[in-house]
Structure 1
Amino acid sequence: MRFPTIILEGKKLPRMIFSLQPPTSHGDHEIYPLMKKIYEMGSWCFDLPSANHLDSFKELRYLTTDLMLIGLCHLDAEEGSSLLGKPLRRFESKIISTIRKDLLPPHLARSILPPSISPEVFTQKEIDRITFDPLRFEEALSRFDPEESPFLLIGEKYGVWLLALGRIDLLHEMVSKVREKGFIPIFSGQWATFVLPKAKPLHVAAYAVPINKKWSLFDLQRASDLIKKFDKPVISLNPLADGTLLNESVGAFSFLFDELKIYAAISKITSEGEANKIVEALMKFPSLIPPRKT
């Protein structure tokens, strides 16, 4: 099956993209066999959240000689952020403590942030000293090829945290560098109702956030209302709620594509059988045509 497509900045992207998550007991060795099976079903775009996914994708592209095959690589904003010359990840516990203490209500902080072992929080002066690290960022970007992965998901965990710390300026620099290297950036973050308003000024092609019929971080109704009014393309991460909506796929996709008018979805699958169920559900949407070009 060839999925319907959207056009983002002149490039085609299927409205359903598979993110392969083989059972942990099988390990990363199962990524390539599953990717090959899904490719043979007609899929020509894969989510590539890890180095192992990227290696499997490169092998598939080489063996099939299919130059139309593309991937979605991920780049966490941490790889372009430093404090006092040190990678920002070395201050992760302190960042969590700062966001937990100053920026989120306690009940939300407990549910969406990892635990922190640091009693310290950043001062505003320390937050202001976080800088863009072009050398580390370019080294990270060098792992990817815009011919193989024209779209790049940027932001991730640290992207959201930088937004929370008020440092969107660093994300502007990263997005600019991504475009300079020939990629089309898509901002990816985990808190839909926080990310969409805060990250809207970024010069990106789309926004990828978790949204499905069952849940959204913070408040589902609020997230749904925000997405309906949002005037930039939105991509659903985890549209089937970690597989719990797999047997209700038609309703899940109706909520996303018909009600929320999202542009595309990145769905986790663990097997060929799950992919077949999703394909069968999508075939019930003959009107699933691309929205306006951007």
Structure 2
Amino acid sequence: MSLRSLKLDYRSWIGIWILSLLLLWEGIAWILHMWMSPQQAASRLPYLHDVLAALVRYSGTLAEQGAVTFGNAAIGFAGGAMLGLMLALLMSAAVWLERTLSPYVISSQMIPIIGLAPIVYGIIHHAEWARIVMAAYVTFFPIVIHTLKGLKSAAPEHLELMRSCGASLPARYIKCLLPSALPGLFSGMKIAAPLAVTSSIVVELMGAPDGLGVLMVSSLYYGSAQVGMFWATIMLSIGIGLISYLVISLAERWLTPWQPEFRAKGGNAV
């Protein structure tokens, strides 16, 4: 069997898994509607086709509020990624810097998002900046950890060769250390991107004037009358996080083609 056919089979299995999940959703919703009143069943798990209908019906509102959430999350993600990259570069420059900064970087993540969000929102008193700060907060930690690991993975013999050739420190970083760190950087970004969206929504739940979190709260307030809107908001939030992950994955494939999983493989697989 060729590698191409294996890839097609793998994609087919993903499609089967997604289809099975959707059918399971419809089946559970059907069972709930058999044993409960329509309002009670819908409040627990509505039919998938009702959620999809709500996505279409409220597409304008969802797109507008989703853009607000995604925009703030993207700005915070970019800022957190830059901060994480700079911290990783500093920590890689000297062992004493890594030992000094590591406890602070790790301890900064001890506060849960749901506890920190109202504190940040209460201090800043600005919904947009609070969302950006929280998105940056959840972004920089995985960036630091994975980028630092990538910087340490550079081949010692390559660094020694560059030192023997008289290469400067910036040249060693540009030609050797940073390319080694790119896979780790992208791994951290793929983890952080969905978290940035989630943190922005958490801030919106605290009383922001707009965003997907506001739609969630308002739809919960109206109960079963807006259950479709609530689940449509959840689906859109998942979609935004998934798209962010896929975009970063495509950028990784384009910028780091030397990774083993991206190399073209010839021959046949048994």
User: TM-score, normalising length from structure 2?
Assistant: 0.22
Structure with higher Rg: it is: 2
Report the TM-score when normalising by structure 1: 0.21
> Relative to total residues, which structure has the larger strand share, 1 or 2?
1
Higher helix proportion: 2
Higher relative contact order (CA 8 A, sep 6+): 2
